[in-house]
Structure 1
Amino acid sequence: MTAKQTRSSRNRNTPRKPSPGSLGEMLDDAGFQPLGRRIKISERDVVKESPPPEWVGPVAEFLWSALPDPATGQWDHLFISAFESACQTLVALGEAAKALGGSIKASAHPALPATLPRWDDVATIVVSLAAQVNLLEYRHFTGARARPSPTGLRPSNIRAAHGCGPAYLAPEAFGVFESLDLVLGARWTEQAETILWRDAPDEWGIDFTEDRRFTIARDIALASVPDDVAERLEASAVITEESIVEWLEVAATHAPTTKTRDDALKSLRFWSRWNLNQLFFRRWRLHDGWLSGREAERTLLIEHDSLSLNMAGEFAARHLPHAPFLFE
């Protein structure tokens, strides 16, 4: 009599034993265990590299054309901050390499790095370089104290908008400004406003330190100081007696004239403020607050960044009130 087949035995999948000498037997001997499913690779599973931002090409072309060219195959920043930042940007974009004496030279094989510099830093540098070489000229904005004579000035072709004043922009610079979304339809865009805070044109007379976006960013910075930043802040706020003595000893050896304790304090306070500013140049941004060490690697050093300079002073006045030399 044949045994009755149960439901469980009918549904059980009994694996077939591989034939002797077959690939299946070899895999069994090796202890191979099947996953029980097939892995399908489709075009959707392949990770495709994102194209670079549209501004990369126009920015590189603009920076090369605007920098002083001594016709030696190298470009020198002449220790002018706008030129220094432009050279730094070309290196960060893989377009140039550092050369001796603070200059740069074009890369033999330009290639974009895996990590690009921050858009807001690049945009700020383009704006300041354009202003430095007179491709961008700010015009009087209603409410500004200074009112220069318009005689001999080229008429503005960028209209005031979003808190930004009028300006003249040379035709050859329109492309790069538009690629960075700073100008649209001959008007400043909304995102251009805080970029232009960093250049702070006198002709517009804008006090952004009273703007709510600035004060909120200041309060957030005060409430969220990272530990490593806090250590550097405290170091900037303290001038020890040992530092004063050491400074005077060095001055006695190298200075052409006799230096006093007041000279030492003045110099040490200057460098303390310089260190504070450098911290904000590298580790803080208006829309992001404090940056991590890794995030800071994408920043570009902009020594004339009015936004960071003002934030450093406003922050120090509240966080380090015992060190007035940092904000007065």
Structure 2
Amino acid sequence: MAVNIPAADWAADVVDFLSRNIPRGDGEEGWDHMFLTAYQIGCEALVALGQADETRWGALPRKNAQLPLELPRWDDLCVSVLRLAAQQRLLSYRRPDGSMPLSTGGFLIYRISAPPPPPPNIAAANGLGPAFATPEVLSVIRVLGLLAEGRWTEIAETVFWRDWPEEWEMSFISDPRFSDALEQALVRIPADIRTEMDKLVTITDTDVTAAMQRRAAAVAEARAKYGPNANIHPPDTHSQARRGLELLRRHDLDWLFFRRWRLSDGWLAPKEAGKALEIFHDDLAIAMRCAVIKRLYPNLTFAAAR
């Protein structure tokens, strides 16, 4: 599926936005991702853009930083910007009628004498709902080609499939573009990806027994350390160990798609995957994983679950 990506003069704007909005660490020496998804991906983007070096806690500005000759994927950087903007409450999504969504529990909470939230300044368009963004967010998403004339652009739609706002009450699963991408993913799956899938969906009794033994050893170690009266979860049963393995295998299957699949290009060759950011919690990649696994392994329902 071809995407008309805007000219590459957006990279400096992305760097500026990310560097100013990811929290700084103690002493202002670098950026601290605080183990929050938006900040983690933002730090990864700064590293991929040649502006920083990765650290255990985030990223450290690079001396004499310069953009790489080959930029990271445009769509991945768009997701990074949108997630950070939403995390910092610089971008908020509205319900289809433009109203604020109800918080968990069905209540809207305002401070006494607080002004009402501003109305949307981004109109619904191209399958996307209304939103409100601050001027700096409007500027960077406009340069990225996601916004034009106060409305979401056509190329913005599938970017949002990857981080779908619940407020918009929509679904992309039935979209023909998703269906077409599914068929292409099935017929063009690389041999190494299929081999890895076969491995991940196979859980043997030996695997379950090994998991039970690991858990039992961890429990014994904890009891030896904290005493027999400590409140420690007992060793896993066979069914508990299997459910735990199923969860881990789904996680690993998701990462195959996070790293090696994109809607516009399908399966990425290793060189192309090197330009991709590891956008985890990617709604579109997870949906495609579920659909692909359901078709390839119809009897292994655990592997196709979310």
Q: Which residue of 1 aligns with 2:273?
A: 296
- Whole-Å separation in 2 of the counterparts to 1:115 and 1:91: 13
Q: Which residue of 1 aligns with 2:75?
A: 120
- Please report how far the alpha carbon of residue 102 of structure 1 lies from its aligned counterpart in structure 2 after TM superposition: 2.7
- Whole-Å separation in 2 of the counterparts to 1:190 and 1:150: 34
| Conserved 8 A contact 2:212-2:235 | no
Task: Determine whether 1:314 maps to 2:291.
Answer: yes
Give RMSD over aligned pairs.
1.9
- Whole-Å separation in 2 of the counterparts to 1:313 and 1:68: 34
Which of 74, 77, 80 lines up with 2:33 in the alignment?
A: 77
SS of match in other structure, 1:281:
helix
Q: Which residue of 1 aligns with 2:86?
A: 131
- Whole-Å separation in 1 of the counterparts to 2:86 and 2:297: 35
Which of 23, 28, 33 lines up with 1:68 in the alignment?
A: 23
Q: Residues 234 and 161 (structure 1 numbering): CA distance in 2 closer, same or farther, change over 3 Å?
A: same
**Structure 2 counterpart of 1:270, one-letter code:** L
- Whole-Å separation in 1 of the counterparts to 2:254 and 2:269: 17
Q: Which residue of 2 aligns with 1:197?
A: 161
Q: Which residue of 1 aligns with 2:204?
A: 240
Aligned pairs for 1:194-233 (under 5 A) are 194-233=158-197
TM-score when scaled to structure 1?
Answer: 0.80
- Whole-Å separation in 2 of the counterparts to 1:117 and 1:264: 39
| Conserved 8 A contact 1:147-1:203 | no
Q: Which residue of 2 aligns with 1:172?
A: 136
Which of 86, 93, 110 lines up with 2:42 in the alignment?
A: 86
Q: % of aligned pairs identical?
A: 37
Structure number with the bigger relative contact order (C-alpha 8 A, sep ≥ 6) is 2
Aligned pairs for 1:131-150 (under 5 A) are 131-141=86-96
| Conserved 8 A contact 1:221-1:289 | yes
- Please report how far the alpha carbon of residue 143 of structure 1 lies from its aligned counterpart in structure 2 after TM superposition: 11
Write the deviation string for residues 148-205 of structure 1: whole angstroms up to 9, x where unpaired: 7698322100011111111001112122111100111111111001111111001101
Aligned pairs for 1:21-32 (under 5 A) are none
- Whole-Å separation in 2 of the counterparts to 1:56 and 1:131: 20
Q: Which residue of 2 aligns with 1:26?
A: none
SS of match in other structure, 2:168:
coil
**Structure 1 counterpart of 2:54, one-letter code:** K
- Whole-Å separation in 2 of the counterparts to 1:299 and 1:321: 30
**Structure 2 counterpart of 1:306, one-letter code:** D
- Please report how far the alpha carbon of residue 322 of structure 1 lies from its aligned counterpart in structure 2 after TM superposition: 2.5
**Structure 1 counterpart of 2:121, one-letter code:** N
Write the deviation string for residues 242-275 of structure 1: whole angstroms up to 9, x where unpaired: 2112111111111343221122101110111011
- Please report how far the alpha carbon of residue 65 of structure 1 lies from its aligned counterpart in structure 2 after TM superposition: 1.1
SS of match in other structure, 1:153:
coil
Which ranges of structure 1 fall in alignment gaps of 5 or more residues?
1-51
Which of 213, 221, 229 lines up with 1:249 in the alignment?
A: 213
SS of match in other structure, 1:314:
helix
- Whole-Å separation in 1 of the counterparts to 2:180 and 2:241: 37
| Conserved 8 A contact 1:162-1:189 | yes
Write the deviation string for residues 269-307 of structure 1: whole angstroms up to 9, x where unpaired: 011101110001111111111111111111101112111
Q: Which residue of 2 aligns with 1:305?
A: 282
Aligned pairs for 1:179-190 (under 5 A) are 179-190=143-154
Per mean C-alpha deviation after superposition, the further-off stretch among 238-247 and 117-126 is: 238-247
SS of match in other structure, 2:8:
coil
| Conserved 8 A contact 2:76-2:276 | yes
SS of match in other structure, 1:209:
coil
TM-score when scaled to structure 2?
Answer: 0.85
Equivalences, count: 275
- Whole-Å separation in 2 of the counterparts to 1:119 and 1:233: 27
Which ranges of structure 2 fall in alignment gaps of 5 or more residues?
1-6, 111-115, 220-231
Q: Residues 54 and 150 (structure 1 numbering): CA distance in 2 closer, same or farther, change over 3 Å?
A: farther
SS of match in other structure, 1:55:
helix
